[in-house]
Amino acid sequence: MYIGIPKESRPYEYRVGLSPAGVEILSHYGHQVFVEHDAGQAAGFNDEDYERAGARIAFSPEEVFGRADLLLKISRPLKQELEWMQDGAILAGFLHLASASQDQLDLLLEKKITALAYEQITDKDGGRVVLRPFSLICGAMVAQIAARWLQTNRGGKGIMLNGVPGVPPAEVVIIGGGAVGQSAARAMQKAGAHVTVLDKNMSVLEEIHDKLPGVVTMMSTRRNIERATAYADVVVGAVLVSGQRAPVIITREMVRAMKPRSVIIDVSIDQGGCVETSRPTMHDNPAFIEENVVHYCVPNIASLVARTAGHVFLNSAIPFIAEIANKGIEETMKNDASVEVAINTHQGNMVHLVRLSAKEGGK
């Protein structure tokens, strides 16, 4: 199979679709991998590393997209990039198609591209095995992001997460107790903050209560969200519904009721955001102020640690990538439920993808 790894074209996306170690594995199976020139440079992987692993270096994105039977991406391709792809090719990436524009979806269907969303690959226990490592990275980085944007020079309240003797720590409220939420709770607690986690699943709250003594847990009801956000210095939105737009659970009215110059970090922004006042930002200008509250809404937080992200992604994703390359998409879908449930488009049809408006998602 011809496998393509292009350079990520979206601004401030420093990750790459596969590291040289992954290319070596695929080359060992007899597949030809085409890597765009400098695709891995920002993550510390140079062209020579890829060539030693068995790849061929391509000097235009059109060649990589056009040759690939299987295209390995991190972020969702642009419309122009989709137009370069072969009809019937396979596209794999963190696609988040529930928040994609309609013209991109139309093109995927028209070209009969099989779109595999890494974030929806699910094991037998319901765990999102490929997304989880990135979620852990994002959660761990939330503490340092919060500390930075609480600073006075960044527009924040001018307080420390951990406080000092005689001054209490910051109040951190995390909405969602999944991988991101638990990782963020652990990092915030280690940083010295007072942490509260809300989730609608009682078993998740029990798990957090047992794993993280001292972290307060609450059921995620509208009333509790209103109460918690009102006293919070930092609110972390960590809500994910697989294959769907993130539900809007923090309304503008709740944001308006928050303490002035507090901070919102909407980690759900890659799925549309769980805060009504959120909008996507980029690493060059990651935050804005709305309703007198600082909003940090970068979709690709893990891109800031691109090399670590590249290694951890390989560990979780290569079994699925190799299976598709070795067996083909049809046999893989037939025999591997973990992959089948992550297919969003196939043979001109939408599969396992629900598109909701922000208003519908918040019900």
Per the annotation, the verdict on 295 as an active-site residue is: no
CB 258 within 8 A of CB 229: yes
- The yes-or-no answer on residue 125 being catalytic is no
Report which residue type is found at 341.
Answer: V
Tell which residue, 163, 157, 81, has the closest CA to residue 115: 81
Selected catalytic residue, list 96, 194, 295, 346: 96
Q: How far apart are CA 353 and CA 245, in angstroms?
A: 10
Length of the chain equals: 363
Helices (H), the chain: 20-28, 47-52, 61-67, 79-84, 102-110, 131-149, 179-190, 202-211, 222-231, 252-256, 306-327, 329-335, 337-340, 358-361
Report the distance separating Cα 145 and Cα 168, nearest Å: 20
**What DSSP state is assigned to residue 357?**
-
Residue 58 has phi, psi (to 5 degrees) of: -110, 145
3-class DSSP assignment, residue 28 = helix
Tell me which amino acid residue 74 is.
I
331 Cα distance to chain centroid: 28
Say which of 199, 266, 270, 346 is annotated catalytic: 270
Max Cα distance, the chain (Å): 65
Q: Which residue has the tokens 């609480």?
A: 150
The side-by-side arrangement of strands in the sheet containing 234-237 is 216-219, 194-199, 171-175, 234-237, 263-266, 293-296, 287-290
Task: List active site positions.
Answer: 96, 270
